[in-house]
Amino acid sequence: MLGLSADNHHPLMLQRVTLGLVSLVAAFLTVTTFFRVELLHHLLWSNGPENNSSCPYGHFRLVGMKDCLSWLSCEMMQSEVTVMKLIGQGAVKQVFLAHWKGNKVALSRLAVSEFSNDFFHGLEMLKGLQSVYVVKLLGYCEDHTILTEYHRFGSLTNINSILEQEDHRSFNTWEVRFRLAIEYAMFLHFLHNSPLGPRVMCDSNDLGKTLSQYLLTADLHVVANDLDALPLVNRSAGLLVKCGARQLQGDFVSPEQLWPFGDDLPFSDDLMPPYDEKTDIWKIPDVTDFLLGQVEGSDVLRLHLFQLHRDCKRNLPQQRPSALRVVQTYKAVYTLLTQESELSGTYSGTSRDL
C-alpha cells in the first residue's frame, strides 16, 4: 500500500516539477528568442557596431581610433604604409594587404596604365560616396594608389565558404544571409539617389563579377568596394548610360543591355540605345538568390520574395520596382518571418517539452 501510494504520488510530484520546469524553459526560450531577434534587429537596422563612426568629409576613423584623421597624403602613404602581399587582382587594380600603424589596410595600385581613367573615376566615387555602404577610404595618391580599410573575409563571392567554416556555422542562417541581401539592396538605393546623382553599378555583367565588387566585413555586413564604373543618369539633362562600349550577352544582364537589332545588323555602340539604373534592379533576384544559399528557411523566404523578384525581372525597365521598394519589401518580409519563427520557436519548444 505504502509503496503504491508513494508510486501514486511520485509521478504526480514529478509531473508538477516537470510542468514548472517546462514553464521556466518556455519562458527562457521566449526571452532568448526575443533577445536573439532584438539583437538581429539591432545588427540589421543600426548598420553595425560602428554606428557613430562617421567623420567629416576627407577624414576617417578605424575601429579603436578615438579621433578622425584626415586622409593620408602621398608622403604619409609612402613613409607609413608597409606592403605585405598581393590579395586581389582585377582588370584595373592590384590589391595588396598592407600595414599602417598596426592596422591591416588594403593598398590598391593601378595595374594597367590604359585604365587610368577608370582608376580616377573610382577614386572620385570612393571620395564622394563615403558612407556606411562604402568601404572606408584612408588615403590616396595621384601616382595611382588608394588606401582603404582591409576586410579579411574578402569579397561577397566568398560568402558560402566563410559561413560554412566551423566557427561561423551559427551565423549560417537565413536571417544573416537575408540581411546581406537587404544591405545590398540598401546600397543600390543609396547609389540610385546618391550625393553624386543617380549612379548605375555597371561593373556587373555576370554574377561573379557583381559579387566581387562588394566586400564582406568581419561583422557580416556588406560594403561596396569597386566603384570604377558608376556612370551618371541625369534625367533632367536626358542623359542615360551604357555599361561599356561592347556588346553584352546572356540573361544575367538586363534585356535593355542587349543588342536590340538582331543578327542582321552588326553591333555598333553608336546605334546601341542607352538605359538607366533599372538594370541594377533586374540583377537583384540573382544576387539575392545566391546570397540566401541553401539553409533552413531560405526556400520559404524565396517563396515570399517570388512576386517581388518577378517584378524585378519585368522586361520594361520602368515597370520594375525602385531599389527603395525592394528594400521596403525585403524588410517587411524579414520582420514577418522573424515574428513567425519567434512564435513557432516558442510553441514547438513548449510542446516538445510537454
Ligand X SMILES: *[C@@H]1O[C@H](CO)[C@@H](O)[C@H](O)[C@H]1NC(C)=O
Ligand Y SMILES: Nc1ncnc2c1ncn2[C@@H]1O[C@H](COP(=O)(O)OP(=O)(O)OP(=O)(O)O)[C@@H](O)[C@H]1O
Tell whether residue 309 is a contact of ligand Y (CB under 6 A).
Answer: no
Tell whether residue 210 is a contact of ligand Y (CB under 6 A).
Answer: no
Size of the site for ligand X (CB under 6 A): 9
Tell whether residue 83 is a contact of ligand Y (CB under 6 A).
Answer: no
Query: Which C-beta is closer to ligand X: that of 5 or that of 236?
Result: 236
Query: Which C-beta is closer to ligand X: that of 41 or that of 209?
Result: 41
All residues at 6 or more sequence positions from 266 whose CB lies less than 8 Å from its CB, including other chains: none
Q: How far apart are CA 242 and CA 232, in angstroms?
A: 10
Query: Which C-beta is closer to ligand Y: that of 106 or that of 230?
Result: 106
Residue of 8, 52, 79, 170 that binds ligand X (CB under 6 A): 52
- DSSP β-ladder status, 222-224 and 81-89: unpaired
Residue of 23, 32, 51, 247 that binds ligand X (CB under 6 A): 51
Tell whether residue 204 is a contact of ligand Y (CB under 6 A).
Answer: no
SS3 readout for the chain: CHHHHHHHHHHHHHHHHHHHHHHHHHHHHHHHHHHHHHHHHHHHHCCCCCCCCCCCCCEECCCCCCCCEECECHHHHHHHEEEEEEEEECCCEEEEEEEECCEEEEEEEECCHHHHHHHHHHHHHHHHCCCCCECCEEEEECCCEEEEECCCCCEHHHHHHHHCCHHHHHHCCHHHHHHHHHHHHHHHHHHHCECCECECCCCCCCHHHHHCCEEECCCCCEEECCCCCCCECECCCCECECCCCCCECCCCCCHHHECCCCCCCCCCCCCCCCECCHHHHHHHHHHHHHHHCCCCCHHHHHHHHHHHHHHHCCCCHHHCCCHHHHHHHHHHHHHHHHHHHHHHHHHHHHHHHC
Tell whether residue 158 is a contact of ligand X (CB under 6 A).
Answer: no
CB of 229 to ligand Y, least distance (A): 7
Give the Å distances, CA to CA, from 150 to 26, 88, 163, 235.
43, 12, 19, 36
Query: Which C-beta is closer to ligand X: that of 53 or that of 160?
Result: 53
CB of 325 to ligand Y, least distance (A): 28
Tell whether residue 199 is a contact of ligand Y (CB under 6 A).
Answer: no
Residue of 226, 276, 277, 286 that binds ligand Y (CB under 6 A): 226
Q: Which does 91 bind (CB under 5 to 8 A by kind): ligand X, ligand Y, none?
A: ligand Y
CB of 208 to ligand Y, least distance (A): 10
Residue 112-151 contact track with ligand Y, rule CB under 6 A, x = bound = -----------------------x------------xxxx
Please give the grid coordinates belonging to residue 51. 554606428
Tell whether residue 238 is a contact of ligand X (CB under 6 A).
Answer: no
Residue of 17, 74, 83, 91 that binds ligand Y (CB under 6 A): 91
Tell whether residue 113 is a contact of ligand X (CB under 6 A).
Answer: no
Q: How far apart are CA 291 and CA 211, in angstroms?
A: 9
Tell whether residue 307 is a contact of ligand X (CB under 6 A).
Answer: no
Candidates 26-34, 52-60, 89-97, 285-293: pick the segment binding ligand Y (CB under 6 A). 89-97
Size of the site for ligand Y (CB under 6 A): 23
Q: How far apart are CA 304 and CA 300, in angstroms?
A: 7
Tell whether residue 197 is a contact of ligand X (CB under 6 A).
Answer: yes
Candidates 24-32, 43-51, 241-249, 278-286: pick the segment binding ligand X (CB under 6 A). 43-51
Residue of 47, 157, 328, 350 that binds ligand X (CB under 6 A): 47
Q: Which residues bind ligand X (CB under 6 A)?
A: 46-47, 51-52, 197, 232, 234, 236-237
Q: Which residues bind ligand Y (CB under 6 A)?
A: 87-88, 90-93, 95, 106, 108, 135, 148-151, 154-155, 203, 212-213, 215, 225-226, 228
